[in-house]
Structure 1
């Protein structure tokens, strides 16, 4: 009897899979921290016989090479992927026997990348699951613009063809198990739901319900900014990532924290946005450990910049270290935990700034106070509506554009509060007076704030 276990990584919006039979299994698209994968196999009592990559990933560092080395598994990588290490190249139609009665078949599905390959799990000759990586996702497909701008249109058409090939070759009941699409920026749009089949996608996926020209036009129109750190992921994966080191970082005292800040290094506070606003080390940045830490920190930080982590507990440091290693931010320079009062030198005080709701902003505006409203959502979000008169700088652009923020007290908002907290910390570190709006954007209209529509009109 076959099995499929899903290994979910919410911070990146991705999934990996462990699948097989009674004695042996394959791991599809493993994360950098392979200990969790090995533990999952141990719980199943199976040997990892194969590790399979659907493509050279753009959004995280793979653990595939190291997992294959540690377990002795065969490392299956699409033959068209240009890599610098020994592997088993896979081409369309290749089949391997995972366990008795359980096989894995490769299907070329270019589009997300030119070499993208999906894998179909078969039990006793019957297709039961398709590991579709960044090809067919839930209601959408992987974005086609991560390889080379001049190839984007061509790859979008390839995505459409690949989706149709999967739908044509597989039965309705076959489970579709993508790697991306659960909040990942590798998805061409944000998919809803967490389980699907070929049959469901046949009736709901845009790649299968629109003709190729309409699909390409809609896909290209919906593409948003690519996280900056993606530029480093593909080369790292093609070169062969080094094993990850998750041993605890050195402990930093107040003097070292101050010294690292003075040197221009990043000090990142992982605590909740509420705790950070109440009191934090001046100059530190707030990236909540419970949010999309890896995505947004890797997107904003200058690549290679040393980072010191601050948190309530060592466990939070360990969780963040694991998350950051998945996107190539290895070995924090130092870390500190406990009471934030201990993170500043004797005679120094913690900095703070206020938090508010949209109703508070409406009150301030009604009084006639001159405030700056800063919207740090992405372009696609703002296109659906915005606060009239607000300034727009997406959070991932803010560090380089703080000088564009008008003078005055800055009320900064996003769609829910997390990115506003990041932006508020950046502004606070730059010496600006800031109020972090910790509220859902729907509350802006409810508070009576005048909104501009999608076309920029009232």
Structure 2
């Protein structure tokens, strides 16, 4: 008897997982990301043939590689019959059973909530149900958010989400594995969980959808929703149309003169190095979105859709990795790129180089007391660029709040004076300070954890 195996392909930058389930000979790919080479390589290492590709829903947070993978492998492409798409697929609906091999079967279960036509797939082996691929329905300790199709549908979809999760719990034994697509930092998740794995039994005790009655679950779910990336508006339509093969070949290399022109034209020239490296020295007018953080999420959210983006990295590999991440959210081809150092990008012109002043919350407390250390400038303005829910849960008294995604359009709303900028850990603050510096403002980057603010003696207030 052959035991079924489920391999996880993580895309941590987007908070998503894809899966490859197999019996040692044939395999099912579930919710594949755009860069299907990872799944193809995995199947090759395992010596299995992909015969089925399954989508739990039309994704809002990334461009699917499902159609391209199905075409390349000749696999059957399983997509909800009720989803309107512009490509050939095998339409599936609630109650369908797909025999993948004599030892491996899929049962299709309608689980609306994250979307209206959302499906889950129960994986059955010789010993019964091994687990269920839940997409954006039942997640680890939470559920998929219900407002991505518009706020007007959020309440109705939250009711559906509650019923769907309970249906899965009723269908499956406690030992069945739960394999969600979202919930590992994805904005598709209603809340976040650090759990690496889960079962139906664990979710019975941990998941609000299985502990709360419908009205209480709906109220809690809707109250916890915050803004989500603007690029989501383009993902659903792209996935309904069907995306072709990804193109990850290198883009044109920009020389110093071209970089200077792009910066002068106000284009988004992005420095992918760590924020510490950026603070030490960078090409003036560039923006800090380090590849060591969720670069694609924040850059894709903030940059005007379709605008040219130039990538700067300390190596060709760093640029290639960023290009891959951006392609996952539909930014297929950066306008240009360059690998090297700020000195090389400046073409030997030291006047084209700049730095960022960095500080801690303890430094901020001292500056507010009138004794800024280390020659730091005074703190005329404290700008908090965290999201709305973070701000409401507590913030430094006297801070100005502009969520990072709103900052490009609200630079004029930042009060006059030297601006000290903070977020939750320092990553978003680096992006914000680089935007402000590009706009000609004097800035200080608070590269510190927000949890340190209270300990530094800064008064914390909140709406809750």
TM-score range, shorter chain: over 0.9
> What is the TM-score when the length of structure 2 is the normalising length?
0.97
The aligned counterpart of 2:267 is 265
Task: State the Cα deviation string for residues 265-321 of structure 1 (Å, max 9, x = none).
Answer: 210000010111111111111101110011111000100011110010001011111
Equivalences for 1:28-427 in 2 at 5 Å? 28-124=30-126, 126-347=128-349, 348-367=351-370, 369-427=378-436
- Contact map agreement 1:139 1:192 (CA 8 A) in 2: no
Distance 2:194 2:253 in 1: 41
Q: How many residues align?
A: 455
Distance 1:205 1:370 in 2: 43
Distance 2:79 2:306 in 1: 28
Distance 1:109 1:296 in 2: 30
Classify the secondary structure of the residue corresponding to 2:293. coil
> Quick one: structure 1 residues 370 and 298, their matched pair in 2 at CA, closer, same or farther if it must change by over 3 Å?
closer
CA positional deviation for 1:148: 2.6
Classify the secondary structure of the residue corresponding to 1:322. helix
> Quick one: structure 1 residues 321 and 169, their matched pair in 2 at CA, closer, same or farther if it must change by over 3 Å?
same
> Quick one: structure 1 residues 79 and 125, their matched pair in 2 at CA, closer, same or farther if it must change by over 3 Å?
farther
Pick aligned residue for 1:429 from 435, 438, 441:
438
Distance 1:429 1:275 in 2: 17
1:20 aligns with 2:4: no
Task: State the Cα deviation string for residues 131-185 of structure 1 (Å, max 9, x = none).
Answer: 0000000111000100132211110000000000000000000000000000000
Classify the secondary structure of the residue corresponding to 1:336. strand
- Contact map agreement 1:122 1:129 (CA 8 A) in 2: yes
Distance 1:228 1:169 in 2: 36
CA positional deviation for 1:249: 1.2
Classify the secondary structure of the residue corresponding to 1:383. helix
Structure 1 runs of 4+ with >6 Å offset: none
CA positional deviation for 1:370: 4.8
Task: State the Cα deviation string for residues 416-441 of structure 1 (Å, max 9, x = none).
Answer: 00000010111011110000001111
Distance 2:382 2:24 in 1: 59
Distance 1:114 1:154 in 2: 10
- Contact map agreement 1:21 1:98 (CA 8 A) in 2: no
Classify the secondary structure of the residue corresponding to 1:145. coil
- Contact map agreement 2:423 2:450 (CA 8 A) in 1: yes
Distance 1:304 1:339 in 2: 27
- Contact map agreement 1:78 1:91 (CA 8 A) in 2: yes
CA positional deviation for 1:454: 3.4
CA positional deviation for 1:242: 2.1
- Contact map agreement 1:140 1:205 (CA 8 A) in 2: yes
Task: State the Cα deviation string for residues 94-138 of structure 1 (Å, max 9, x = none).
Answer: 111222211111100000000000001000150001000000001
Classify the secondary structure of the residue corresponding to 1:176. strand
CA positional deviation for 1:346: 4.6
For structure 1, which runs of at least 5 residues remain unmatched after alignment?
A: none
- Contact map agreement 2:379 2:419 (CA 8 A) in 1: no
Distance 2:296 2:101 in 1: 36
Name the Cα RMSD after superposition.
1.0
CA positional deviation for 1:351: 1.4
